Chain A
Amino acid sequence: NAGVTQTPKFQVLKTGQSMTLQCAQDMNHEYMSWYRQDPGMGLRLIHYSVGAGITDQGEVPNGYNVSRSTTEDFPLRLLSAAPSQTSVYFCASSYGDRGSYGYTFGSGTRLTVV
């Protein structure tokens, strides 16, 4: 019963480096999202996907790419890391057709860009 699994848990990057944050879920959820959490700003939606092959931008998409080739996986790519991307990143999933279900969250990736 793994739920939503995020890797790595911690990462330090240098400015300009790229990396991929991994997210996988084993609940056959259609809907997956990436959020960033910054002090005093709550959760901000980066990108989301309503199913394999379908992705869309959230409110803060710049500097990030996503793809959804399978139902299970939804990786988040940082193209050229900047200090402003220092944050805690959460992946979440849900049933797309059941708004009453709620999200299941991963445990997060704490990213520091120096």
Chain B
Amino acid sequence: GNSVTQMEGPVTLSEEAFLTINCTYTATGYPSLFWYVQYPGEGLQLLLKATKADDKGSNKGFEATYRKETTSFHLEKGSVQVSDSAVYFCALSVLSSGTYKYIFGTGTRLKVLA
């Protein structure tokens, strides 16, 4: 079946620290991969995406590379800020029975301390 597994949180970092949030997936076919961010009291927003192997998605200093050989899509940022405190969701979309299905991880909460 199709699934997404991401590291449990919370992840607590000091400002300017390096961030990695791990995400691995299982999928039939060729999924597209996504990271979404949810700030307190808000809906999920698309942060970045990658649609084929070795693609790198990037946005707002965050990056993730689609690794087919390790079925991974880890989120990284070189220097986090307090404003990056949020919940991050890894997700995939895959064609199933003629339509695209979206599968989400359970989310990882990031807390950045000043």
Contact = CB atoms under 8 A, between A and B. Distances in A.
Interface of A: 4, 31, 33, 40-43, 50, 90, 92, 94, 96-100, 102-108
Contacts of A43: 44, 89, 104, 107
Interface class of chain A by DSSP: loop
Interface string B25-36: 000000110101
10 contacts: A31-B100, A41-B106, A42-B89, A42-B107, A43-B107, A92-B44, A100-B51, A103-B91, A107-B43, A108-B42
A12 to B, nearest CB: 17
B104 A99 contact: no
Nearest to A98: B100
Contact of B49 (A96, A97, A100, A106): A100
**Closest 4 pairs (CB-CB, A-B):** A42-B106, A99-B100, A105-B43, A99-B93
Counting chain B residues whose Cβ lies within 8 A of the other chain, the interface size class is 20 to 34
B95 interface: yes
B44 A103 contact: yes
For B32, B42, B91, B99, the residue with the greatest tally of chain A CB atoms inside 10 Å of its CB is B99
Contact of B44 (A31, A90, A94): A90
Given A41-B106, A42-B104, A100-B32, A31 B99 contact: yes
Contact of A106 (B36, B43, B46): B43
Given A100-B32, A105-B44, A108-B42, A33 B102 contact: yes
Nearest to B32: A100
